[in-house]
Amino acid sequence: MKQIILFIIILLLISCSSEIVLVKQPALKKMGIEPLPCWVYELPAESDYIIGVSARSFDHDSMFDAARQMAAVMKSRNKGSFTIDRFSISSGSNILREGKAVFQLNVAEPNETLRIYESLNLIDETYLYDHYIALFSETELSIPESFCQKKIINFPDWYSKDEIIIEDEYLLSHAQDGSYNLVTAWEKTAEKARYELAKYLEKEVKSIVLSQNENIEKNIAVESTKKLVNLEITRTFIIMKNYDSLISYQVYLEIKMKK
């Protein structure tokens, strides 16, 4: 009789445990930051340096060339590029005619980009997990030793939010963006900073109110087209997070432009 009761208890325990489903929640963890050369965080003032990033690879030549190409594009767009930022929205009683459209473009002269690419010299290089980071210059042949020392720094006090800061001689544009690819995060952040400068320098807003059969429709268009010249990326900061074994990168960046 005792064996029958014990058997029934075991069956009840098994049936109850089978109804329990354990779901593993994705883990989001901040990662310890590896020491990086000081030039990653801040470049010497009024310098000719530019940083390029690429995916880490056993093929050093290919990895180096990809970083050099990125650096050439970044430097070309900083020296002189057109930014086009268009936003339009329509609203009214007719739902079918409501909507918005956004168009952004930041381009530089292709021939100038190629010239810069061919003239870039490698100054220093480092690695950050699965990415390669290289420092280039057209004119400089070295960088002060203090900028090559590796350090770990906390979140910088120079960055507060995405904004334009007005100084006596310069405009500073702060921006941030992220991606699982450091190259993408870096490029997106730089473009966002350039767009903010273009918006600040030149903006045309047009608003039209139309009345049709007692229905009110609003069409608003915001357009900014500006050539930016002599920009300089001065400061950068990177935050890494581990999301289910995938590393994501958040890039914070400062671009300086003379007034």
Q: Please give the Cα distance from 115 to 110 (Å, whole number).
A: 9
Give the pLDDT of residue 45.
Answer: 83
Least confident of 13-27, 218-232, 238-252: 13-27
**pLDDT attached to residue 223:** 47
238: number of Cβ within 10 Å: 22
pLDDT of residue 182: 96
Residue 252 and residue 177 in contact, taking contact as beta carbons nearer than 8 Å:
no
Distance CA 105, CA 107 (A): 6
Q: Reply yes or no on whether the pLDDT at 48 is more than 50.
A: yes
- pLDDT number for residue 253: 94
For 230: left if phi > 0, alpha if psi spans -120 to 50, otherwise beta; the answer is left
Most confident of 77-81, 91-95, 202-206: 77-81
- CB-based contact 222:208 (threshold 8 Å): no
pLDDT over 70 for what percent of the chain? 64
The reported pLDDT for the residue numbered 200 is 75
pLDDT tens string 167-178: 888 889 999 999
Distance CA 201, CA 215 (A): 36
Ranking 53-57, 144-148, 225-229 by mean pLDDT, the lowest is 225-229
More confident residue, 100 or 234: 234
Question: Which of 55, 80, 90, 32 minimizes the C-alpha distance to 206?
Answer: 90
The first and second tokens of residue 181, run together, are: 């690819």
81 has pLDDT over 60: no
Q: How far apart are CA 67 and CA 131, in angstroms?
A: 10
pLDDT tens for each residue of 2-47: 555 554 555 555 454 444 444 455 455 556 567 999 999 999 888 8
Whole-number percent of the chain with pLDDT over 90: 37
Q: How far apart are CA 157 and CA 130, in angstroms?
A: 27
